[in-house]
Every structure is written in structure tokens, then in C-alpha cells.
Amino acid sequence: QSVLTQPPSASGTPGQRVTISCSGSSSNIGSKTVNWYQQLPGTAPKLLMYRNNQRPSGVPDRFSGSKSGTSASLAISGLQSEDEADYYCAAWDDNLNVVFGGGTKLTVL
Amino acid sequence: EVQLVQSGAEVKKPGDSLKISCKGSGYSFTSYWIGWVRQMPGKGLEWMGIIYPGDSDTRYSPPFQGQVTISADKSISTAYLQWSSLKASDSAIYYCARRGYDSGFYYLDFWGRGTQVTVSS
């Protein structure tokens, strides 16, 4: 069981907006910032969002993040086929450990 | 350009020892923590532990404490993950990743391509 809870799957059609949720507790999301990672099929994870809603250089502004209380979410607008991937939320704990969500497999229909 | 280059795929037998590597370049290797992440076949990401190459301060995630050893050789900008006695359940892809930071906020900003470890008799 992952410390952070994500839906196992999500889907949308090209052009749609989809959101992926991430639920935690006061000891992780409630007191830490959330990062999101995208893992395209057969590749290493890549940083997609940090500090809840900051995009690293090169990440399209179609991706946005938010956090409220002990939950966070990732939104993808204008869905594209190349967005089909696994998405993981994550947060650091006080012992320099990362707690990951179980991952959400996004399918573009 | 920041890069983390991991060693190649390994096929081992149960009980074998193994040490895989992650070589950093394009940045000050001693100034950033390097973490290790396991991904078992068809599964999600699991945090194993982290090392600060500057002084070899190492922290382990509780499930992996005592199961693996994380080390680093700063003279060659390389971090390691090792096992003394592999089990079939250690079969997975292992990623190293740099802990980047910005104004006190931390994230895994650069990742290696992963090392596939297969343990089978």
C-alpha cells in the first residue's frame, strides 16, 4: 500500500481536460510540498511539477498542479496522445525519504 | 548538461552479490543528494534511500534498511547500490535520481535511465 493514494487509472480523449488526484495526510502532503513525475512507457520517470504547482523548464503549460490541505491534484488540459503515461505524486518526509503515490495510468482514448 | 549514467543490465543468481552504479556529470556531484528508487515489474515507484556524496551521509527507507547498501565515491562522481545476497524478489529496475532544490524546496530533478536487475536460478 502506498502512503499517498492515487486512482489507478484515468482516461480522456484528445483535447479534453483530465485531473489526477493524490490524497495523503497531515504528515506528508499536509505539511510538505508535492511533486509530480511522469513516466512514459519504457522510460525513466521525469520531473513534471514541483513545489505543488511549478513547472520545470520545458514542461508545457497544459500541465498544472494544485494542493489543498492533505490532497493534491495534477490537471492536464488539451490532452494529447503523447501524454499517455504513468503519473506519480510524491512528497518528502522529515527523514529524507520520498513517499510516492501508487501511480495513475493515463490512457488517451 | 546534468547527466546520471547508470551501469548496464545484470543477470544474477539467488545468493549472488551485486553492485550497480550511477555516475553523475555536469554538476557538482558532492553538493547534491543522490537517491535510489526501485520499480518492480509492472509496479510503481518505491523509495530505497539517499546519500550525500559530499560526506557520505546515508539514509535508508525502513523497508530497505539492512537489505541494501548505498555508497558513493566522490573522487569519481559515482554512487552505488549493492546487495550481498540477492533474492528473486530483487528483480526490478533501479533508478538513481538527483535531489534538486530551489529556495528550500526539494525534488528529484534528474534521473538515470535505470538498471535492470534480473535474479533467477
Q: Do B95 and A45 touch (CB under 8 A)?
A: yes
pLDDT band at A95 (very low <50, low <70, confident <90, very high): confident
* Residue B61 near chain A (CB below 8 Å): yes
Instruction: Say which amino acid occupies A101.
Output: G
Whether the per-residue pLDDT at A94 is higher than 90: the answer is: no
Cα–Cα distance between A70 and A5 in angstroms, integer?
A: 11
Q: Element (H or E) spanning B92, and its range? A: strand B92-102
Count of other CB atoms within 10 angstroms of residue B23: 17
Residue A1 vs residue B114, higher pLDDT = B114
**Is residue A2's pLDDT more than 90?**
no
pLDDT at B91: 98
Closest to B39 in 3D by CA, of B84, B79, B97, B121: B97
B38: cell is 526501485
DSSP structural state of residue A54: B
Shortest distance between the Cα of A46 and any Cα of chain B, in A, equals 7
Check if B55 contacts A (Cβ < 8 Å).
no
| pLDDT tens digits along A9-39 | 999 999 999 999 999 999 899 999 999 999 9
Structure confidence by residue, pLDDT tens digits, B76-108: 999 999 999 999 999 999 999 999 999 889 999
Contact A50 B109 (CB under 8 A): yes
Cβ burial, residue A53 (10 Å; 0-12/13-18/19+):
middle
Report the alpha-carbon angle A51-A57-A63, nearest 5: 65
Average pLDDT on A53-74 reads 97
Extract the C-alpha cell encoding B61: 527507507
Cell for A90? 510524491
- Look up residue B88 and give its amino acid: A
What pLDDT, in 10s, does the model give residues B12-70?
A: 999 999 999 999 999 999 999 999 999 999 999 999 999 999 999 999 999 999 999 99
